[in-house]
Structure 1
């Protein structure tokens, strides 16, 4: 349904240097498939999501939706955004406190001139689990719980009958008791409506519960991807292993030193080598520090970009 091919996104950095926020990404989301994009803050996940939505223009590469390359003309983007909708992580920040639930959900249908607004809004609220919708239409965001506010945001996306949802940390701001409900809702929407979804998250536990495939991103590039069970039960990349080690049932905690490097100064060789926990115990790290790794292609099979994992 939605595919990024050799995608690069750069921004102007300090001293005239270019920050490579997305530095060569191939990623596809199939019909009815949920893909989790996982990584630390600052690894490029949100920039990639914004580019997939057409909110950022790639420096190189292209976005393809349903077999057609994305055009950046106003009319084409408007049509595209009816098919691909965004769900933000902070519903209190994304909902206008002066607008009722009806006004919030009706905003998209009004922009796209959809007929029968009342029916569209009520149907979207019902599909998002706010039933009966009449109870919520005239409420304001501050009168709702966190889970209800997130359902309103999801209803606003569903009002346009999209084919793909891009959810950026959709449960990060919610209590643990509500997280499962929102994840179950996304799964139910996939099953009932055939929706595809890209779920952007730093939480591999969330990916385990919801995703068909996982793509692990580090410093602008996908370093490991494949079916969720294969990646999370047998991670090959040391970065994926470190992310998994923080889960409660992990036998050993792996502590990464430092922060992800500055995207204006990406390390030579493997971009993860300055923080890699395997480097101190590896006799020869010449390849890790000097030999570039290939960009991972689009495939549903497990794959990893790591000299030590593939040696």
Structure 2
């Protein structure tokens, strides 16, 4: 349904090298599939999501929807955004406090000129779990709970009957008791409507519960990907191992030293080697990690890892 091929996004800065926010990414989201894009803050997840939505133009590479490369003409983008919708992480920030729930959900159908506006809004709210929908029409965001606000945001996306949702940290701002409800809603939408989804998150526990496949991103590039069960039960890349070690059931905590490197100065060799626990332990392969480049991972369903330790 949605494919990125050798995608690169750079941001120029006067007097400094360009920041490589996305530095060669191949990613595919199949029909009815939920893919989790995982990584710590600053690794390029949100920039990749914005580029897949057509909000950023890639420096190189292509975004394709249903086999057709994305066109950046206004009319083509408008049609594309009816098929691929965004769900943001902060519903209070993404909803206009002066608009009622009805106005917020009706905005998309009005832009696209859909008939039977009230029926479309009511169906979208019902699908998002706000029933009866008429009870919410005249409410304002501040009158709703955090979970209800997030359901309104999801309803705004569903009102256009999209085929793909891109959810950027969809439960990060919610209480733990509400997160499960929103995740269950996303799974139900996939089962009932055949929706595909790319879920951007830093939480591997969330990926474990919702995703069919997971792609782990570090410093602008996917370093490991594959079926969720296989990747999270037996991670091959040291970065994935470190991310998993913070889960409560992990037997050993791996603490990464330092911050992710500046994207204007990507390290030579493996881009993770300055923080890698294997290199820090004095493994003989450290010299290779520091000097030898790794290939960009292809968009394949099988487990794969961009690491010199991977056989």
TM-score of Structure 1 vs Structure 2, range by shorter chain: over 0.9
1:222 aligned counterpart, secondary structure: strand
Aligned to 2:176: 176
Aligned to 1:205: 205
User: Does structure 2 conserve the Cα–Cα contact (< 8 Å) formed by 1:238 and 1:276?
Assistant: yes
2:12 is equivalent to residue 15 of structure 1: no
Aligned to 2:155: 155
1:295 aligned counterpart, secondary structure: coil
Aligned pairs for 1:65-84 within 5 A: 65-84=65-84
Between the aligned partners of 1:146 and 1:152, the Cα distance in structure 2 is 10
Aligned to 2:309: 308
1:307 aligned counterpart, secondary structure: coil
- The Cα offsets for residues 228-257 of structure 1, whole Å up to 9 and x where unpaired, read as 000000000000000000001000000001
- The Cα offsets for residues 68-93 of structure 1, whole Å up to 9 and x where unpaired, read as 10000000000000000000000000
C-alpha deviation, 1:287, in angstroms: 1.1
C-alpha deviation, 1:197, in angstroms: 0.1
Aligned to 2:221: 221
Aligned length: 310
Between the aligned partners of 1:135 and 1:96, the Cα distance in structure 2 is 19
- The Cα offsets for residues 48-67 of structure 1, whole Å up to 9 and x where unpaired, read as 00000000000000000001
Between the aligned partners of 1:39 and 1:54, the Cα distance in structure 2 is 21
Q: Which runs of 4+ in 1 moved over 4 A?
A: none
Between the aligned partners of 1:184 and 1:130, the Cα distance in structure 2 is 14
Gaps of 5+ in 1: none
Between the aligned partners of 1:221 and 1:179, the Cα distance in structure 2 is 28
Aligned to 1:119: 119
Aligned pairs for 1:266-277 within 5 A: 266-277=266-277
C-alpha deviation, 1:266, in angstroms: 0.3
Between the aligned partners of 2:310 and 2:276, the Cα distance in structure 1 is 12
Aligned pairs for 1:30-69 within 5 A: 30-69=30-69
C-alpha deviation, 1:111, in angstroms: 0.3
C-alpha deviation, 1:12, in angstroms: 1.1
C-alpha deviation, 1:164, in angstroms: 0.1
Aligned to 1:105: 105
Gaps of 5+ in 2: none
1:308 aligned counterpart, secondary structure: coil
Q: Which moved more, 1:281-290 or 1:221-230?
A: 281-290
- The Cα offsets for residues 192-249 of structure 1, whole Å up to 9 and x where unpaired, read as 0000000000000000000000000000000000000000000000000000000010
Give the TM-score of the pair, scaled to structure 2.
0.99
Between the aligned partners of 2:259 and 2:182, the Cα distance in structure 1 is 31
2:287 is equivalent to residue 286 of structure 1: yes
- The Cα offsets for residues 154-178 of structure 1, whole Å up to 9 and x where unpaired, read as 0000000000000000000000000
User: Does structure 2 conserve the Cα–Cα contact (< 8 Å) formed by 1:13 and 1:264?
Assistant: no
C-alpha deviation, 1:309, in angstroms: 2.3
C-alpha deviation, 1:14, in angstroms: 5.7
Q: What is the alpha-carbon root mean square deviation over aligned residues?
A: 0.6
Aligned pairs for 1:137-156 within 5 A: 137-156=137-156
User: Does structure 2 conserve the Cα–Cα contact (< 8 Å) formed by 1:32 and 1:190?
Assistant: yes
